[in-house]
């Protein structure tokens, strides 16, 4: 079995954290029995922490050979050790250099994957560049910023495998991007700095799904929130939800805490950093390279987690219940690719609607929440089209 | 800034850091007079359960204390008196122990290596919740006041599990972690 991890003796703590997460993952538990991945090799490139470890174990229990790899900054060594002790192949260590991380990804690809679950589309793009697609049936992509380059590749006719857009499933982005990322990025920034949010000014660059969540949780804890945008509808939406909307350069001098929630490089530039006052703190909730130009930060300004996404690089990632939804989508996407991938065109595809809805219904059932059903008279009304 | 706001943020940070759970949608019983904490939790999307009738005007759900505790996923300010009512899986933040003269009573030690073998049950309980453990030796870990005398099992850093009876396990957070 492949294993290159930092310290196998950390496994007990890793196993404890995996078991604690499992208690709050009813949806993944419910679908586990329905997956059939016998004899398949699945590569996982998700943030290596207790929740994604439960996905790895679920896929293993469904019969797959699972290989996990993850960049150093997002690797929890205790969870890596726990997975190895459970018979999962892991190539990930928190002390790996970028070159070694790349070598891990290449080694995983050379093992001959059937399906890849990627985050940021780093390994899908690497497999294209290095001609290592081999027998890969397809890939599932976790996040907004990973899908963007894949759609560009598809438009240019360069994408050679089908990709399922896990991020674009409603049971993922409506909860993970908004509530999970919002809560966990705000709390990570407070844990790292000791800042009191009540009465502080918090600037949120970008009011997409992630920005809406960050703004909401910062406001819930008492901050005065200022939103910055480049897109008119997003800006108007923020305005109507009660936030001050201003250009970023204008807001910087007032800020105690600045989040970039755009997922676009060069959102917070050196010029913005120079406009901040001493004591200001900057955090990334998006997570692409150079989202904050963290090269030479002016004295007195702090960029958290070296400009990497603050909840993944400096805390335990998104909350467990939220990852239960996202990882259930991932598991169904992997299973769907195994069953149908060979008939799918090389393009970015949405997860079939019925699988997405199944995740939402399973979550409602786990919560004990009942729904109404439209009555016959209502269905008749709707059918009339009036 | 008021002390209530400071305590509220500190408690929310500790709960979420220790558990890695989501606050939105949780039923949270807030025991005791912590209006800033209750307001913050509500704003984060928790369904807050309070005993003070006036709290209804601030968007909280008002219930008698035992009913609130029996519904709660999370109890802030839990005491021994709540033990019979807790649901399986409930997470407890113990009420701060009353100030005591220094040098008395060590807390029940639950950290460190997990014990071997299955977790012990409180003796004499068969389906019934325990009749309230004896002893009130609270301590810096904050758990002694609620569970003095019950054997706890380490779950992960800062979380100790207690079996109150068959199919009923609750988790106590060590807010000093
Ligand atoms: N940290 C995490 O756990 C996590 C989780 C989910 C998504 N993400 C990442 O967060 C990023 C945002 O995701 P999303 O789903 O919110 O995307 P989105 O497309 O919904 O939102 C991005 C918003 O940023 C705005 N924007 C772009 N450039 C801007 C600029 N220079 N200034 C101000 N606003 C600008 C856009 O108009 C848009 O409204 C992505 O990189 C995504 O991958 C991170």
Q: What are the tens digits of pLDDT across the range B108-136?
A: 444 433 333 333 333 333 333 333 333 33
* Four-CA torsion A133, A134, A140, A146, nearest 10 degrees: -10
Using alpha carbons only, give the angle B134, B139, B141 rounded to the nearest 5 degrees.
115
For ligand 1, atom 25, the nearest C-alpha belongs to A206
ipTM: 0.95
CATH level 3 topology of A3-172+318-367 = Rossmann fold (3.40.50)
Interface of A with B in 209-238 (CB under 8 A): 217, 219-222
Closest CA of chain B from A192, distance in Å: 11
pLDDT in tens, A4-13: 999 999 999 9
When mean pLDDT is compared across A215-224, A289-298, B59-68, the lowest value belongs to A289-298
Look up tokens 């908004």; give the residue: A178
Kindly report the protein residue whose alpha carbon is nearest to atom 38 of ligand 1.
A208
Please say if the pLDDT value at position A245 is more than 80.
yes
Mean pLDDT of A186-191: 98
| Mean pLDDT calculated for residue range A295-315 | 95
| pLDDT tens digit sequence for A13-38 | 999 999 999 999 999 999 999 999 99
Residue (of B30, B26, B10) closest to B18 by Cα position: B10
Q: Whose CA is nearest to atom 19 of ligand 1?
A: A208
**Chain A residues touching B25 at Cβ < 8 A:** 321, 367
Given this chain, do its domains A3-172+318-367 and A178-314 carry the same CATH topology? yes
C-beta A259 within 6 A of ligand 1: no
Contacts A–B by Cβ distance under 8 A: 76
> Is the minimum CB–CB distance between B63 and chain A shorter than 8 Å?
no
Interface contact A198-B20, CB threshold 8 A:
no
Beta strands in chain A, from DSSP E residues, in sequence order: 3-4, 41-44, 65-69, 89-91, 115-118, 138-141, 163-165, 201-205, 224-228, 244-245, 257-260, 281-284, 302-303, 348-350
Which of A199, A220, A319 is nearest residue B43 as measured by Cβ atoms? A220
Q: How far apart are CA A211 and CA A132, in angstroms?
A: 36
Shortest Cα distance, chain B CAs vs residue A225, angstroms: 14
For a ligand 1 pocket test, name from A71, A151, A208, A313 the mutation site with the most ligand atoms within 8 angstroms of its C-beta.
Answer: A208
Closest atom of ligand 1 to CA, residue A207: 39
Of the pLDDT bands very low, low, confident and very high (cuts 50, 70, 90), residue A340 is very high
- For the Cβ of A145 lying below 6 angstroms from any atom of ligand 1, the answer is yes
Distance of CA A210 from the midpoint of ligand 1 (Å):
6
- Give residue A260 CA to ligand 1 midpoint distance, Å: 8
Question: Is the pLDDT confidence value at A353 over 50?
Answer: yes
Give me the pLDDT at residue B96, please. Answer: 81
To test the pocket of ligand 1, the residue of A176, A211, A308 to mutate (highest count of ligand atoms within 8 Å of its CB) is: A211
CB contact A6 to B (< 8 Å): no
**Would the pLDDT of A280 be above 60?**
yes
| A220·B40 Cβ contact <8 A | yes
Residue window 65-124, chain A: list those with CB within 8 Å of chain B: none
The C-alpha atoms of residue A169 and residue A209 are separated, in whole angstroms, by 13
Burial class (CB in 10 A: 0-12, 13-18, 19+), A117: buried
Stated pTM of the model: 0.91
Give the count of beta carbons closer than 10 Å to the beta carbon of residue A307: 23
pLDDT at residue A297 in the model? 95
Residue A222 in tokens: 């008492």
Note the pLDDT of residue B173.
97
pLDDT for the residue numbered A84: 98
Which residue has the CA at smallest separation from atom 18 of ligand 1? A208
CATH topology of domain B3-173: Rossmann fold (3.40.50)
Q: Does B23 touch chain A (CB under 8 A)?
A: yes
Residue A209 Cβ inside 6 Å of ligand 1? The answer reads: yes
Query: How many degrees, rounded to 5, is the angle at CA A342 between CA A340 and CA A346?
Result: 110
Q: What's the confidence (pLDDT) of residue A201? A: 98
Nearest Cα of chain A lies from the Cα of B101 at a distance, in angstroms, of 30
Expressed in angstroms and rounded, the spacing between residue B84 Cα and the centre of ligand 1 is 47
Domain at A178-314, CATH class: alpha beta
pLDDT at B146: 80
Chain A residues in contact with B44 (beta carbon < 8 A): 183, 217, 220-221
- How are beta strands B168-173 and B91-94 bridged, if at all? parallel
Q: Is B159's Cβ below 8 Å from some Cβ in A?
A: yes
Contacts of B12 in chain A (CB under 8 A): 187, 221
User: Per-residue confidence of chain B (177 residues) as pLDDT tens digits?
Assistant: 579 999 999 999 999 999 999 999 999 999 999 999 999 999 999 999 999 999 999 999 999 999 999 999 999 999 999 999 999 999 999 998 765 554 444 444 444 333 333 333 333 333 333 333 333 333 334 445 688 788 899 999 999 999 998 989 999 999 988
Who among A17, A316, A322 is closest to B22 (CB)?
A: A322
**Ligand 1 within 6 A of A326 CB?**
no
Question: Which residues of chain A make contact with B17, given a CB cutoff of 8 A?
Answer: 187, 191, 315-316
* B59 in A contact zone (CB under 8 Å): no
How far CA B132 is from CA of A364, B73, B79, B168, in Å, comes to 35, 20, 10, 15
Domain boundaries, chain A: 3-172+318-367, 178-314
The stretch A48-67 carries a mean pLDDT of 98
CA nearest neighbour of A294 among A279, A315, A308: A308
Contact A198 B12 (CB under 8 A): no
The sign one gets for the Cα dihedral A110, A111, A114, A118 is negative
Residues with Cβ < 8 Å from B144, sequence gap 6 or more? B97, B105, B107, B108, B135, B136, B137, B138
* Chain B hits for A13, Cβ within 8 Å: 156-157
Window 121-180 of A: residues touching B by CB (8 A cutoff) are 179-180
Residue A232, Cβ density class (10 Å: 0-12 exposed, 13-18 middle, ≥19 buried)? exposed
């Amino acid at each position: 079995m492949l294993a290159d991890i930092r310290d196998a003796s950390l496994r007990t703590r890793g196993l404890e954290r995996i078991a604690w997460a499992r208690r709050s993952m009813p949806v993944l538990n419910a679908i586990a029995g329905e997956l059939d991945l016998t004899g398949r090799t699945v590569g996982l490139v998700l943030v290596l922490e207790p929740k994604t470890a439960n996905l790895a174990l679920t896929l293993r229990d469904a019969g797959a050979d699972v290989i996990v790899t993850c960049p150093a900054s997002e690797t929890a060594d205790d969870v890596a050790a726990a997975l190895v002790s459970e018979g999962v192949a892991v190539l990930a260590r928190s002390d790996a250099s970028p070159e070694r991380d790349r070598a891990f990804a290449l080694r995983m690809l050379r093992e001959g994957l059937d399906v890849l679950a990627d985050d940021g589309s780093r390994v899908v793009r690497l497999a294209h560049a290095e001609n290592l697609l081999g027998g890969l049936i397809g890939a599932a992509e976790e996040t907004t910023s990973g899908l963007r380059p894949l759609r560009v590749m598809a438009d240019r006719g360069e994408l050679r495998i089908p990709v399922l857009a896990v991020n674009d499933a409603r049971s993922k982005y409506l909860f993970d991007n908004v509530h999970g990322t919002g809560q966990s990025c705000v709390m990570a920034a407070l844990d790292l700095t000791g800042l009191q949010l009540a009465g502080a000014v918090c600037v949120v660059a970008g009011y997409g799904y992630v920005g809406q969540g960050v703004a909401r949780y910062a406001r819930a804890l008492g901050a005065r929130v200022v939103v910055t945008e480049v897109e008119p509808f997003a800006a108007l939406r923020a305005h109507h939800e009660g936030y001050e909307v201003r250009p970023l350069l204008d807001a910087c001098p007032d800020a105690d805490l600045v989040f970039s929630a755009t997922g676009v490089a060069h959102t917070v530039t050196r010029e913005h950093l120079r406009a901040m006052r001493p004591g200001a703190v900057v955090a990334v909730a998006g997570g692409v390279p150079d989202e904050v130009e963290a090269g030479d930060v002016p004295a007195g300004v702090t960029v958290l987690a070296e400009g990497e996404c603050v909840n993944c690089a400096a805390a335990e990632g998104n909350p467990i219940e939220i990852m239960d939804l996202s990882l259930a989508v991932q598991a169904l996407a992997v299973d769907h690719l195994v069953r149908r991938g060979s008939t799918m065109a090389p393009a970015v595809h949405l997860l079939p609607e019925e699988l997405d809805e199944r995740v939402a219904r399973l979550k409602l059932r786990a919560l004990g929440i009942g729904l109404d059903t439209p009555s016959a008279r209502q269905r008749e009304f709707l059918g009339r089209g009036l | 800034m008021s002390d209530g706001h400071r305590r509220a943020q500190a408690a929310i940070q500790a709960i979420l850091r220790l558990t890695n759970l989501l606050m939105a949608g949780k039923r949270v019983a807030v025991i005791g007079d912590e209006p800033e904490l209750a307001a913050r939790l509500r704003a984060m999307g928790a369904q807050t359960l309070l005993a003070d009738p006036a709290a209804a005007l601030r968007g909280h759900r008002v219930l008698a204390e035992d009913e609130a505790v029996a519904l709660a996923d999370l109890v802030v300010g839990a005491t021994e008196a709540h033990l019979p009512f807790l649901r399986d899986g409930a997470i407890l933040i113990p009420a701060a122990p009353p100030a005591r003269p220094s040098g008395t009573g060590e807390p029940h030690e639950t950290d460190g290596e997990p014990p071997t073998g299955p977790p012990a049950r409180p003796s004499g309980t068969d389906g019934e919740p325990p009749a309230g453990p004896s002893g009130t030796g609270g301590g810096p870990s904050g758990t002694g006041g609620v569970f003095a005398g019950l054997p706890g099992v380490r779950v992960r850093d800062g979380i100790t599990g207690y079996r109150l009876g068959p199919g009923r396990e609750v988790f106590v957070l060590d807010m000093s972690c």
